[in-house]
Amino acid sequence: MLIPGNAAIGQSGGPTAVINQSLAGVIDGLRESGAGAGGTIKKILGMRHGVRGLTQDDLHDLSDIPTERLDRIANTPSAALGSTRDKPDETYCKRILQSCQKHDIRYFFYIGGNDSSDTCRIVNELSDASGYELRCFHIPKTVDNDLMVNDHTPGWPSAARFVAKACMADFMDNISLPGIKINVIMGRHAGFLTGAAALARRADRARSTDGPQLIYLPEVPFDLERFIHDVATVYDAKDRCHIAVSEGIQDTDGNSIGAMFIQGETDAHGNVQLSGSGALGDQLAGLLKAKLTPEGGKPPRVRADTFGYIQRCFPDASPIDQREARGTGRFAARLAASGDVDGSVAIIRTSTAGPDEHYASEFRRIDLADVAAKTRHMPEEFIEGTNDVSQAFLHYARPLVGELPEFDRL
Amino acid sequence: MLIPGNAAIGQSGGPTAVINQSLAGVIDGLRESGAGAGGTIKKILGMRHGVRGLTQDDLHDLSDIPTERLDRIANTPSAALGSTRDKPDETYCKRILQSCQKHDIRYFFYIGGNDSSDTCRIVNELSDASGYELRCFHIPKTVDNDLMVNDHTPGWPSAARFVAKACMADFMDNISLPGIKINVIMGRHAGFLTGAAALARRADRARSTDGPQLIYLPEVPFDLERFIHDVATVYDAKDRCHIAVSEGIQDTDGNSIGAMFIQGETDAHGNVQLSGSGALGDQLAGLLKAKLTPEGGKPPRVRADTFGYIQRCFPDASPIDQREARGTGRFAARLAASGDVDGSVAIIRTSTAGPDEHYASEFRRIDLADVAAKTRHMPEEFIEGTNDVSQAFLHYARPLVGELPEFDRL
């Protein structure tokens, strides 16, 4: 079932705390098929900075990497091979295919999000059309958790763990001094990561007791007047308010609120810059200060933090996420070695989400077209009203982030 | 040596990851002296929101708090009693003293930074003058690490641990995609916390290999032209640059660079708002983009994150910091119980800082006037040139932050 030749692995898009687990997983799986040890699969090549490196012959031979070192790299956040945000068009993809032919690459593994799976799909179609046999696999990765079919995506549980822990601690900080605190959280157009802020609440407590009290998701049109009213209501009752806001919030017409404030760039995929700036938080804080100052009185204390890049790479990964990220890589390599010619790997939950869930999942091969360039959003049953997530979301998310610290208060 | 009456404990200023350890430590020490169990020290009272709560009779009886619960609270970040930024003047301090008399408080413990130690000093002087016997103790706390006499201050090692881990991971993120990354770090007018970013470098590696490559401390006058030149030099050589900037950087005239950008407030201590806004990072990023865009070319990818409040409360405290924070509280209670009438507790390092240091420290009673309202800065031997910390600083800081993760790269 194996075809003789080399295997190449690339990483693409925003790095995560576990994307190197997936890299290690592919290598695990290829080695189990005899790769690099005089087997049919000869070399395991790493693309430096994804397809950009591949087309520039910038490849790193990983065939002989010792297992111990591979494990250390797997436990290192960010993309060890380097990443890229290039969006290959037809010409670019032809160069990718030429590079594969030049380097005798017959197995192509690409770890990334929905844009990366689309790159993978195009390369696969080109190789089919050209008659050059290339087994093309996409391995899921994104802290946004916005890939179709997947129950969740490697990278998100670890980022969600950071968001939950940061919000737990920051809520304690907020109740120690009166005031309003806004935390801006990643996730682009999907609210999963921002929703994870709700994990900061103790399981048996309402948001009136435990913050964040207000959560704004990109799936719910953001209305400035309603936002001010929401915050004023909590602040009037409690002299404080803890708020989680997605970087991707949009108005009713789908215009990004953040993009209005960030003098940023648009990448090759047409994505506008939402991260790497505190502008959205600062603008919302300024607005609240202005609107909630009583006549002739002092403005409330309003602070905004933007969690930024730290949330996607903080070295405190969820154990389930580490295991699954590695597993998706190994599964893709096994699919390729056992004769499958293309596909993506999806994580499917096999247990039933609920308060007493004993979490279990499995990997499944799905068609590239099922994930390529599509965006999954928070389903309706995960959203509660206009400013919160539901219990169903908490049941979904809680088992994935690992154990959280236990706090107590007077 | 004991005088009959109650003890009161308060927490003041910005919370930390270990300030509740100090609270628990005072209770430990008082209980060892028989407090709350029919002993001479009758009740252990917690001031809600520091002296503000004391003057409003808002006290929480902690005498019977179970040890197990106390340990959980000790491990919870932020100030369990609530904090305050009130700056008591003469009138306010008289009210504090009246409240002490009203509630038969004979032992006064105040956990906080340099402003809080000054509050403590004034209350102590007033009680002396009035003839009301009050034993007044300050217990050190501040992530800024800017208290005099102390080798370091509880709260800083844990915040430094967060900064080191965040910078380790963020540097990996930075090398995975080309570009310039600015991280803005707390610390007000002292560079200790920003300097901790250098702990992200592996011990045996130069900053040319491991980031951050540039570190800007408030102790070194910040020059925009030199900053742009520094970044351009690294960026030209490496196509990337990783930068740590203190929120407290100042120009040669001592004007805060951050305060120029943040439309913020001034608190009761006259401190201007430096945290809770992304403005400084955003402005520096905008400046670099404008200045480093080649003629007719594309601007470099520049991103800024402001670590914000998360760095002072993230639930991943340094074990040494937890132990010492608890120890300072217990030590103050013992001083009070053994007849000392006032003072502050200082942490003194008894080992010699160096690469092979087996770290050891002890607690010492110092006069309130030695710390009150004074600010310690990074000593010259901790600073290297205009944009880095020295090896001496790394030897000083490394043993305090606890074990850091081990990363590897290709």
For the packed helices B156-176 and B319-337, what is the interaxial angle rounded to 10 degrees? 170
Cα–Cα distance, B409 to B176 (Å, whole number): 11
Determine, yes or no, domain membership for B337: yes
A13 and A124 inside one domain: yes
Cβ atoms B265, B232 nearer than 8 A? no
Instruction: Give me the pLDDT at residue B259, please.
Output: 82
Q: Which of residues 334-353 of B touch A (CB under 8 A)?
A: none
Cβ atoms A134, A97 nearer than 8 A? yes
B349 and B219 inside one domain: no
Instruction: Give me the pLDDT at residue A89, please.
Output: 84
Burial of B295 (0-12, 13-18, 19+ CB in 10 A): exposed
Instruction: Give me the pLDDT at residue A268, please.
Output: 57
Cα–Cα–Cα angle for B178, B184, B186, rounded to 5 degrees: 155
B135 and B274 inside one domain: no
The H or E element containing residue A180 is strand A179-185
Query: How far is B105 from chain A, CA to nearest CA, in Å?
Result: 21
Q: Looking at the predicted structure, is the pLDDT value of residue A171 above 70?
A: yes
Do A278 and B278 count as a contact with CB atoms less than 8 A apart? yes
Q: Which residues of B touch A181 (CB under 8 A)?
A: 276, 309
Do A80 and B409 count as a contact with CB atoms less than 8 A apart? yes
Considering only CB atoms, B85 lies closest to which of A78, A177, A305, namely A177
Residue A44's DSSP bridge partners are A7
| B149-163 b/e (C-beta count within 10 Å ≥ 16 → b) | bbbbbbbbbbbbbbb
B180 and B78 inside one domain: no
Cβ neighbours, 10 Å, residue A301: 19
Cα–Cα distance, A241 to A243 (Å, whole number): 6
Cα–Cα distance, B206 to A360 (Å, whole number): 45
Pairing of strands A5-11, A41-47: parallel
Amino acid identity, position A197: A
| B232-251 b/e (C-beta count within 10 Å ≥ 16 → b) | bebbeeeebbbbbbbbbbbe
Q: Looking at the predicted structure, is the pLDDT value of residue A288 above 60?
A: yes
Burial of B349 (0-12, 13-18, 19+ CB in 10 A): middle
Task: Kindly identify which residue of chain B lies nearest to residue A177, measuring between CA atoms.
Answer: B83
Q: Which residues of B touch A275 (CB under 8 A)?
A: 303
Interface test with B, best of A18, A262, A265, A310 (most B CBs within 10 A): A310
Q: Which two tokens stand for residue B289?
A: 């983009």
B339 and B385 inside one domain: no
Cβ atoms A111, A329 nearer than 8 A? yes
Cβ neighbours, 10 Å, residue B22: 31
Cβ atoms A41, A79 nearer than 8 A? no
Q: Which CATH number does the domain housing residue A144 bear?
A: 3.40.50.450
**DSSP letters of A118-161?**
HHHHHHHHHHHHHT---EEEEEE-BTT---SS-SS-TBHHHHHH
Determine, yes or no, domain membership for B406: no
Cα–Cα distance, A37 to A41 (Å, whole number): 8
Determine, yes or no, domain membership for A410: no
Determine, yes or no, domain membership for B26: yes
A321 and A387 inside one domain: no
Query: How far is B380 from chain A, CA to nearest CA, in Å?
Result: 31
A169: contact with B, CB 8 A cutoff: yes
Give me chain A's average pLDDT, please: 93
Cα–Cα distance, A153 to A349 (Å, whole number): 11
A263: contact with B, CB 8 A cutoff: yes
Task: Kindly identify which residue of chain A lies nearest to residue B167, measuring between CA atoms.
Answer: A310
Reduce the DSSP state of residue A179 to 3 states and report it.
strand
Q: Which of residues 10-39 of A touch B (CB under 8 A)?
A: 11, 15, 17
Mean pLDDT for the stretch of residues A373-394: 95
- Please give the DSSP secondary-structure letter assigned to residue A21: H
Instruction: Give me the pLDDT at residue A327, please.
Output: 98
Q: Tokens 């404008």: give the residue.
A: B290
Which domain covers residue B35, as residue numbers?
Answer: 5-154+317-371
Considering only CB atoms, A278 lies closest to which of B77, B83, B282, namely B282
Instruction: Give me the pLDDT at residue B205, please.
Output: 78
What ipTM goes with this model? 0.95
Q: Looking at the predicted structure, is the pLDDT value of residue B268 above 60?
A: no
Instruction: Give me the pLDDT at residue B352, please.
Output: 80
Can you say how many angstroms the Cα of residue B204 is from the centroid of all Cα atoms in its chain? 28
**Which one of A279-288, B81-90, B184-193 scores highest in mean pLDDT?**
B184-193
B131 and B240 inside one domain: no
Q: Which residues of B touch A405 (CB under 8 A)?
A: 75, 315
Q: Looking at the predicted structure, is the pLDDT value of residue B211 above 90?
A: no
Percent of chain B with pLDDT over 70: 95
Mean pLDDT for the stretch of residues B241-266: 86
Q: Which of A114, A118, A138 has the alpha carbon at shortest distance from A14? A: A114
Do A73 and B410 count as a contact with CB atoms less than 8 A apart? yes
Cβ atoms A349, A151 nearer than 8 A? yes
Cα–Cα distance, B109 to B247 (Å, whole number): 30
Instruction: Give me the pLDDT at residue A208, please.
Output: 77
B140 and B273 inside one domain: no
Determine, yes or no, domain membership for A183: yes
Instruction: Give me the pLDDT at residue B24, please.
Output: 98
- Please give the DSSP secondary-structure letter assigned to residue A315: S
A323 and A360 inside one domain: yes
A221 and A342 inside one domain: no
The H or E element containing residue A304 is strand A302-306
Instruction: Give me the pLDDT at residue A28, please.
Output: 97
Amino acid identity, position A312: R
Determine, yes or no, domain membership for B354: yes
Instruction: Give me the pLDDT at residue A211, please.
Output: 87
Do A81 and B304 count as a contact with CB atoms less than 8 A apart? no
Do B170 and A313 count as a contact with CB atoms less than 8 A apart? yes
Q: Which residues of A touch B312 (CB under 8 A)?
A: 173
CA distances to A101, A116, A254, A377 from A369, in Å: 24, 12, 25, 18
Q: Looking at the predicted structure, is the pLDDT value of residue B80 above 60?
A: yes
Task: Kindly identify which residue of chain A lies nearest to residue B17, measuring between CA atoms.
Answer: A169
Instruction: Give me the pLDDT at residue A52, please.
Output: 96
Q: Which of A125, A122, A119 has the alpha carbon at shortest distance from A139? A: A119
Cβ neighbours, 10 Å, residue B362: 12
Cα–Cα–Cα angle for B329, B332, B335, rounded to 5 degrees: 150
Q: How confident is the model at residue A273 (pLDDT cuts 50, 70, 90)?
A: low
Q: Which of residues 274-313 of A touch B (CB under 8 A)?
A: 275-279, 281-282, 285-286, 299, 301-310, 312-313
Give pLDDT tens digits for B62-76.
999 999 999 999 999
Instruction: Give the 3-state secondary structure of chain B.
Output: CCCCEEEEEEECCCCCCCHHHHHHHHHHHHHHCCCCCCCCEEEEEEECCCHHHHHCCCEEECCCCCHHHHHHHHCCCCCCCCCCCCCCCHHHHHHHHHHHHHCCEEEEEEEECHHHHHHHHHHHHHHHHHCCCCEEEEEECCCCCCCCCCCCCCCHHHHHHHHHHHHHHHHHHHHHCCEEEEEEECCCCCCHHHHHHHHHCCCCCCCCCCCCCEEECCCCCCCHHHHHHHHHHHHHHHCEEEEEEECCCECCCCCEHHHHHCCCCECCCCCECCCCCCHHHHHHHHHHHHHCCCCCCCCCCEEEEECCCHHHHCCCCCHHHHHHHHHHHHHHHHHHHCCCCEEEEEEEECCCCCCCCCCCEEEEEECHHHHCCCCCCCCHHHEECCCEECHHHHHHHHHHCCCCCCCCCC
Determine, yes or no, domain membership for B14: yes
* This prediction's pTM: 0.96
Mean pLDDT for the stretch of residues A389-398: 95
A286 and A145 inside one domain: no
Catalytic residue among A28, A115, A118, A144: A144
Number of domains into which chain A is organized: 2
Determine, yes or no, domain membership for B20: yes
Mean pLDDT for the stretch of residues B310-331: 97
Do B305 and A276 count as a contact with CB atoms less than 8 A apart? yes
B175: contact with A, CB 8 A cutoff: yes
Q: Which CATH number does the domain housing residue B306 bear?
A: 3.40.50.460
Q: Which residues of A touch B12 (CB under 8 A)?
A: none
Reduce the DSSP state of residue A252 to 3 states and report it.
coil
B201 and B285 inside one domain: yes
